[in-house]
Chains A and B, each alone.
Chain A
């Protein structure tokens, strides 16, 4: 009976994690030495839309994004500025092909994002809050 309860709890946890996968909290992360402890949604949105390349202190930001079709990228933009992925993609097509700015570089997954952020003082990325590593600093929490 104890074993069955254990299995049911584990199954419940798996189902809960699956059902909430699209709505998981996200952490916008930066290098621990980044002078800012927090950014607001609008500042992060401006960085990810190429409207600025600078952190508020004037230092150059290296913006790391997730692959174009990834679910986490969809969640991120919906949470940070309410844009759908189709909107974001059309926006970046316009910015890129009018020669104004190149889109952010991409990393393969959250592990790769954090590897870059840990190694790069000016980097900024986003990862599922549950996967955030102690070596990076959360500067915005997105629910």
Chain B
């Protein structure tokens, strides 16, 4: 999927926060890999029969037999799964189309006036399948794959985790392999719609997080003290990567060579408090896209010219675009109150990156749900704010220089600023919805979201024209199920 031939730079790809070379991504074992490889040797294909279709999910769900729990766990295989059949409609604003997270490609709202587009069922629809084997009471093997709408067709990006879990002593649990990225409250359950009242985790908080898995392991220590349950957990490894769309044709693969996370969770009665920290290091430069190379070369050239002020500016801009050896620090604080009738959940997060090309944001949400038998109405407010200002050309580089260089210098300055602004996310959403537990395995949800996308913000907006605020209304209907 490395067809870097698109002539127009679509810079929002870099909003993912970090990048990596797709060649460095771990590959699936050859014997399986070859079965899914198409004619294009550099591209993995999901076979047609595996591609997500609504009727396939219905059929699978309808005819799948079973209760996940077996008579005795040890020595037995457990096959179980979950899924969501979703449908979205929005008011079709040409400058802001809905995505659930940044691995999805926005629908081209400018080409249709329909409220429900061909892509409307894709955003939230997903099917997860988990296989577990309990080797002994203290050792198990778990693997989970999730078919969902994402631009990457690499098979390895559909395997969320495959690990061996140990309980060497009762207070300790450890996992080795590909484990779920666990820092935020909902990090590991983003795809599992059945487990939460709302149709999806708030996009402003979770939509930009490009990490689902960590190749490495984690270790948790559990402690009970005076009615409080404490869980101290560390996690380390590297990111298997995900694909982020750049435009209609190209995909930018994001990965990280080092991830370290630490969380502390305390539960007491209906309260849960979780504090998390995550360090992400990007060891390699981003994909050498043509437009990107051109920009880098030009900035390096201007920096070498020793033009007073201008060269220093160019050097600073170039430094802020260099992914190699960049670092991100995530901080998060989450709180849950889950009593029989009421559920309140809130999170506050902050991302501090060493370069402006990555994400530098503060984000938060608060959700409140009331359980009334099988009905659960809820309300949610979420928002994300950039921590860096808009890069602008306060003093055009060409000022005072010969006419023949004024134009190119000013254009270069504008292009570089636009690239750096492409990772800014500045929007908030008010959501109102209802969950109905149809039975013990199926929940139907409705949700209305009103999103205010502010100027110079790129989370929901594919267009480069970001000079004005946009308001988007969206209605979602999701059917969540487990089997």
B-binding residues in A (CB < 8 A): 42, 51-54, 58, 60, 62, 65, 67-69, 82-87, 89-91, 93-94, 96-100, 102-106
Which residues does chain B contribute within 8 Å of A68, judged by CB atoms? Answer: 67, 440-441
**CB-CB nearest in chain A for B73:** A102
Interface contact A97-B195, CB-CB below 8 Å: yes
Per the bound structure, the CA–CA distance linking A135 and B165 in Å amounts to 36
**CB-CB nearest in chain B for A69:** B440
Neighbour of B69 across the interface among A62, A83, A97, A106, CB < 8 A: A106
Given known contacts A90-B194, A90-B195, A99 and B175 CB-to-CB distance under 8 angstroms = yes
The 10 closest A-B pairs by CB, nearest first: A98-B188, A94-B195, A99-B142, A93-B195, A86-B437, A103-B69, A82-B340, A69-B440, A106-B69, A90-B195
- Whether, in the assembled complex, B482 has its beta carbon less than 8 Å from a beta carbon of chain A, the answer is yes
Interface contact B170-A65, CB-CB below 8 Å: no
Which residues does chain B contribute within 8 Å of A84, judged by CB atoms? Answer: 340, 371
Tier of interface size on chain B? 35 or more
- Whether, in the assembled complex, B144 has its beta carbon less than 8 Å from a beta carbon of chain A, the answer is yes
Per the bound structure, the CA–CA distance linking A125 and B189 in Å amounts to 29
Given known contacts A90-B195, A90-B196, A85 and B170 CB-to-CB distance under 8 angstroms = no
Which residues does chain A contribute within 8 Å of B137, judged by CB atoms? Answer: 53, 60
Given known contacts A82-B340, A102-B132, A102-B134, A97 and B192 CB-to-CB distance under 8 angstroms = yes
Further contacts, 20 of them, CB under 8 A, given A58-B170, A97-B130: A42-B227, A51-B229, A53-B137, A67-B67, A86-B371, A86-B440, A87-B338, A90-B196, A93-B82, A93-B194, A97-B482, A98-B189, A99-B161, A99-B179, A99-B188, A102-B68, A102-B140, A104-B69, A105-B71, A105-B72
A-binding residues in B (CB < 8 A): 67-73, 78, 80, 82, 128, 130, 132, 134, 137, 140, 142, 144, 161, 163, 165, 167, 170, 173, 175, 179-180, 188-189, 192, 194-196, 227, 229, 338-340, 371, 374, 376, 437, 439-441, 482
Q: Could you jot down 17 A-B contacts, CB within 8 Å?
A: A58-B170, A60-B137, A68-B441, A86-B437, A86-B440, A89-B440, A93-B192, A93-B195, A93-B482, A97-B128, A98-B189, A99-B132, A102-B78, A102-B140, A103-B69, A104-B69, A105-B73
Q: How far is the CB of B233 from chain A (nearest CB, A)?
A: 11
Given known contacts A51-B229, A94-B189, A102 and B69 CB-to-CB distance under 8 angstroms = yes
**CB-CB nearest in chain B for A68:** B440
Q: How far is the CB of A96 from chain B (nearest CB, A)?
A: 7
**CB-CB nearest in chain A for B179:** A99
Which residues does chain A contribute within 8 Å of B374, judged by CB atoms? Answer: 86
Given known contacts A90-B196, A97-B195, A105 and B69 CB-to-CB distance under 8 angstroms = yes
Which residues does chain A contribute within 8 Å of B73, judged by CB atoms? Answer: 102, 105
Which residues does chain B contribute within 8 Å of A52, judged by CB atoms? Answer: 170
Which residues does chain B contribute within 8 Å of A60, judged by CB atoms? Answer: 137
**CB-CB nearest in chain A for B167:** A53
Interface contact A96-B130, CB-CB below 8 Å: yes
Which residues does chain B contribute within 8 Å of A85, judged by CB atoms? Answer: 440
Which residues does chain A contribute within 8 Å of B188, judged by CB atoms? Answer: 98-99
Per the bound structure, the CA–CA distance linking A69 and B78 in Å amounts to 20
Per the bound structure, the CA–CA distance linking A10 and B339 in Å amounts to 41
Which residues does chain A contribute within 8 Å of B338, judged by CB atoms? Answer: 87
Task: Give the most central of A51, A97, A104: most B CB within 10 Å.
Answer: A97
